[in-house]
Each structure stands twice: as C-alpha cells, then as structure tokens.
Structure 1
C-alpha cells in the first residue's frame, strides 16, 4: 500500500476490504493475537478496530503500557524520594496519578512535595542547572522508546559535570516480557502485532526467538487503523502459508537494524538488571535497565534511601490479568465502578495507553453490546 497521507490510513472502505481478505485467508479458524504496545491498544479502541475485523480474530492487549507495568513498590520508592526536603522530583504527566500504597505523586505534591511534570529528561536537567542548591531527580520510565532520551541526558549531565541531577531508573525492556507471556501457561496466542515505537529503536532482530522457538509470527505495525488491520492480515497470511517470521509492516519508520545511535547511548549509560518485578507478571530476569557503575553519581537509587519493598496490588484490582491478556478490561470486577480514570485503583486505568483507560474512554457502548453478545446469545 503506497500511502502518503494520514487519511489514507483511515479509509473505511479499504479497511473493510482488507478485513474481507482476512476472513478469506483465516478460513473460519479462530485466532488470538496480542498487540504488545499501549499505543496500539489506544488506536484499536479509539477507532473500533475490533468491530471491523472478522469475529474469528480476537485481539488481546499486552503489557505495553510502561506506566501500567510498574509495580506498586517502585511507585512508593518514587514518592519517598519526592517527599525529601531538598528534592525537586520530575516525572512524565501520566505517572502523577498512579496509585502507590499511600496515595500518588499528585497527593505528595498536594502535601507540599515539589513534584513537577516535564516533557523530557532534558527539561529535568535544565531545572538542575537553574536550581544549583536543590537536587533534581528524574523518574525515568518506559520501554526502549524513552530509554535513549534518558541515556542522552545522562551523557550530557556527565559532560557538563552537573552533580545535582539524578535519575531514578525504571526503564523496562519489551523482549523479556514477551518471553514471559509466551511461557505463561494460561494464555494461548497465535501471533503478535509488534510494537512500532520500540522497534524504531531495537530493530527487528530481537524478535526472532518468537518465530524460532515458539513458531509464532510477529508483524511490527504502525499506529494508524489500517496499519493494524494490514498487520493482522500479514499475520493470518503467514499462518495460512505455514510460516512464522518477523515482518515489518511499519517500514516507513522502522529500519531492520533499529536506531544504532540510540542503542549506543543506552549501552554507554545502562545495563540489564538481574531481575525486576513487573505488575501482573512478577519477577522477570534481565527485563529492566539500571545505570552503569560509571554513572553512579547520577543514580538516585544509590543516593536516596528508599523502602524498596514488594507491595501487593490491591485485592480487587485485576490489572495483572489484563496486562497478561488473560481477561479483557471490562471483565475486571471493579472496572468502571470503583475503578475509573478519576479514581484509579490499578495502573491500567491511569495512562491513556492503559487498556482499561482506553476501554473506559472509548469502549463503553461497544462494551455493553459485547456483554449482551456474550451473555444473551446461546
């Protein structure tokens, strides 16, 4: 499809014709595909893609929202740092409302903590330059998409010798999470819609294990409705031809080798943690990044004494199952009642990329019809 303009990626007639092709090629077999990326989940709900796809294709929402996978203990650690006297604590906007075990960063701010939201870690570094008598901490979260900007900021802090700046590093990596999902017994997946932004950085090679060891196709997809529908077609076509390969639907942005400069900056500043806890997925080995020893001066984890406790999710919250794709958001007991974007119990309701928030914001009507379809029809 040679498309130049964004409207072409939203062409309803084209979407329907691709959907008819999917129906033909999938020949009535039922398939479950997981989109690993929160940005995809958002597009799927916003544009009602599940209603366009044939009913035998089920899209399952994975752990692709970085705000959502952070365990409560790490949120508590962040709040502890934010409450310290001489600290200016900086964070991305959607981390502000994430509930810890005693309130959120927003609550800490209301209680007098100096918490500020920034658009990038470079903004946080600028605050450190402007406030030499204060300590500025940046709450680094996100997959390989946001890690390069943290890396570049650390290299700049080092080059300029800015010592009142540090990073509380919570970057996570997508591949080990996919491994954990593929190894988890309670989910049967037939293929993956691969994450577009992460792949811009890491390229295509890291996904080969999915095809090689698990014999499942991965198609890296863009973020427009037709990108996702075309990717589903490509996955179904692979299965019908007995193939399991890594394909790139998003070739207009993703290069097979990824972004070499970004990867170099990450390698200079960060290393893999032996293990890291993910909300809903538990501890996953080598699934997150910490700062290298040579960046110890900028490592908030070494500077501040934080509780570092493992905190269980609230009993009522089923974020974990949602993140693993075991249940759909509206199957959670508290969805839309006790848990809403205004009063989130779990993280999936906080970020616009979280499956629950996306479903809540866009899906209420289709959700009602889905419920009827499931419970009323024989």
Structure 2
C-alpha cells in the first residue's frame, strides 16, 4: 500500500474484521493499545463496536500528559511562583491538575507561562530573554526525549545559561512490564506504540513478550494498520506463541533510530519515577545526566518533584491501567467533561476519557 486511502479501504477492513472474529474464539480477547494516539484512532474509526464480543480493547498509559503526577505540576507552579521563572510548555500541559491548582488557573492570576511548539522554541525564548530564567516543562516518552535532549545540548553549545528543563520523561517498555504482571488487568496482547517504536525499535519489547508470554505487535495509526495489528495478535494467540511482530514496517525497524538513542543516552540516565495512577516504576524515567546538571531545573532551583498517590474521586489511574473503561468512572461526562476536566485523561487530546467522550466509544 502506497497511499493513505489504501489504509482506509472498506472492503479490506470488512475482511479483517471477519478474520478477527473468526480467530477470537468464544470469549472476548483482552488486548491493550498502549499509545494514546491509538486510543484516539480506534475511537474515531469506530473500531471497538466493530469488534464487540470478539475483542475487548483496553486503553493503556501511553498518554504522557495523563501519567504526569500531581507533584510535577506542583513543582512547576512553585518554580513560577517562588522562584520567578518564566515557564515554557506544550499547550496540553496547562490544564493538567496538580494537588490544588493547574498552570492554566495560575496563569489566570499572573503566573507567566508561554506555550511553545518545540523544546528549541524554549531555548530561543531564553536567549531572547536575558536576565530571566526560562524553564521548559519536558514531558514525554522516548519520542520526545531526543528533541528535549537536543534542546539541552543546543543551549549548552550556545551558552544559553538561563535555560533549563524540568524533566518528566518516561519509557514505555517498563510500564508495559508492570501492566503485564498485574493479574487484575489480564492483558492477552499488546498493540505497541508506533511513534515510540520508531525511536527505540521493535526489539525493545522482546523482554516483555518473552518474560510474560504476551504477544506484541507494533502497528500504525490508520484503520487497516490497527485491524491488521489486532489480527496479528489474535493469530499469535491462536498459535500459542508470544513474539514481537512489526505491522508498521514502513517506518519502524527492529533496532530503531540509533542517532536518537545515542542522544538520549548522552543527555539522560535512567531513574525510578512515578506514574499517575500506577505508582513508582523502577527504571522507567529519564533524568538529566550529571554532565548537563546546569540545565536540570530540579537541581538548579532545588525544587523537587514529589510523588504521592492521588486522593480523588477521579479514576484516571484505573483507566490508564486498563482496569476500567472511562464510562465506568462516576465523574465521566458529569463532573468531568472536556470544558471542565477533573482528571488528566479528559485534558489531553490523546487521553482515553477525552476520546471516549468525543467519539462516543463504548
């Protein structure tokens, strides 16, 4: 297939749905799409209703905004309020709730937050704002890590010393391992994230697949990509095997982007970090390496990011772990709507609750 329409062909989609239903067996197979972009694509394409009774698709923790804990937002607000820094952030972070406030609410009362479209924009902002500290809110997964790392290296080379990053970068395979071992979730197959896989390579999922005996398939975001990925997972289950397969071979490779990986290894080192609703996952974070400590906002301003479990009626944590569907949360569509989000899964455009609310997915 060469053109975008090829990945949306109705006849091919019907054939794949028939194959999936044939291979699923009697009880619905529980699969998890890890990536938030997959969640949106599945909801937009009406894929869940098509597979009802054959496949249960669970949304995973692959939305970086959604898994950012309260403590990170609190630390960002403290940097602006107590240290007087100028915060630079991607737009979808502004409405994420902290313990008692959000960047959007604080901005309305005078906190200085600038929306940028790339980490390099924040470096440019810092270079043009001499005498004022600029802190970029570096939130993301392996996909975003090279861009954040590149911005730090650029600032170092150019001598932009009033630039730093409050890092909240996480790695996906470690979270998959935690979910794979959770008996309450009972995942029978992972639809692995496409963008992340372009960076880390499909081989990165082999430890999860081999250790837990769970099939893994990397798939793209078009309807036929997703249906083919699901079909490949069911074929593995039917054959009684668990391996990593790559439906997204037109972009992702087994080894990934080595240049991006080298950049990540240069600027970051693995660390334990907290995921909203999940807890501390060992080795799942990326903190800024000692060689670039001058650009680590947490160290530079001595404002630690403290992780604590959320105490709220919002059940985003259970949604992120695949334990419930968004509609099972008592706040969904009532106290929590896109215009007035109560939890982060309703904030981000990639959030499970936002996708279910917008497209009426069931």
Common fold: TM-score over 0.5: yes
Contact 2:298-2:304 at 8 Å conserved across structures = no
Q: How many residues align?
A: 362
Shift of 1:314: 4.1
1:278 aligns with 2:275: yes
Contact 1:271-1:290 at 8 Å conserved across structures = yes
Q: Which residue matches 1:342?
A: 339
Match of 2:118 among 117, 120, 127: 120
1:58-91 CA distance string (max 9 Å, x none):
1010001000001111111111112245421001
SS in 1 for 2:233: helix
SS in 2 for 1:341: coil
Q: Which residue matches 1:211?
A: 209
- State how far apart, in whole Å, the 2-side matches of 1:84 and 1:113 are: 10
Shift of 1:311: 4.0
Match of 1:295 among 288, 292, 296: 292
Q: Which residue matches 2:142?
A: 144
Shift of 1:28: 3.0
Match of 2:322 among 325, 328, 342: 325
Residue 307 and residue 147 in structure 1: after superposition, are their counterparts in 2 closer, same or farther (change >3 A)?
Answer: closer
Contact 1:22-1:54 at 8 Å conserved across structures = no
Shift of 1:308: 3.6
1:134 aligns with 2:102: no
Could you tell me which runs of 5 or more consecutive residues in structure 2 were left unpaired when the two chains were aligned: none
SS in 2 for 1:287: strand
Contact 1:99-1:345 at 8 Å conserved across structures = yes
- State how far apart, in whole Å, the 2-side matches of 1:121 and 1:85 are: 21
1:213-267 CA distance string (max 9 Å, x none):
1111100010111110000001111111222110000001101110000000110
Q: Which residue matches 1:376?
A: none
- State how far apart, in whole Å, the 2-side matches of 1:148 and 1:196 are: 16
Q: TM-score of the superposition, structure 1-length normalised?
A: 0.93
Q: Which residue matches 2:10?
A: 12
- State how far apart, in whole Å, the 2-side matches of 1:314 and 1:336 are: 20
- State how far apart, in whole Å, the 1-side matches of 2:306 and 2:156 are: 30
What RMSD over aligned residues (CA atoms) do the two structures have, in Å? 1.3
- 1:173-192 equivalences under 5 Å are 173-192=171-190
1:23 aligns with 2:53: no
Contact 1:62-1:325 at 8 Å conserved across structures = yes
1:242 aligns with 2:240: yes
Pick which of 70-79 and 298-307 moved more: 298-307
**TM superposition outliers: structure 1 runs of 4+ over 4 Å:** none
SS in 2 for 1:226: helix
- State how far apart, in whole Å, the 2-side matches of 1:82 and 1:224 are: 40
Q: Which residue matches 2:67?
A: 69
- State how far apart, in whole Å, the 2-side matches of 1:189 and 1:102 are: 34
Residue 28 and residue 269 in structure 1: after superposition, are their counterparts in 2 closer, same or farther (change >3 A)?
Answer: same
1:266-307 CA distance string (max 9 Å, x none):
10000011x211111111101101000111111100122326
Contact 1:16-1:52 at 8 Å conserved across structures = no
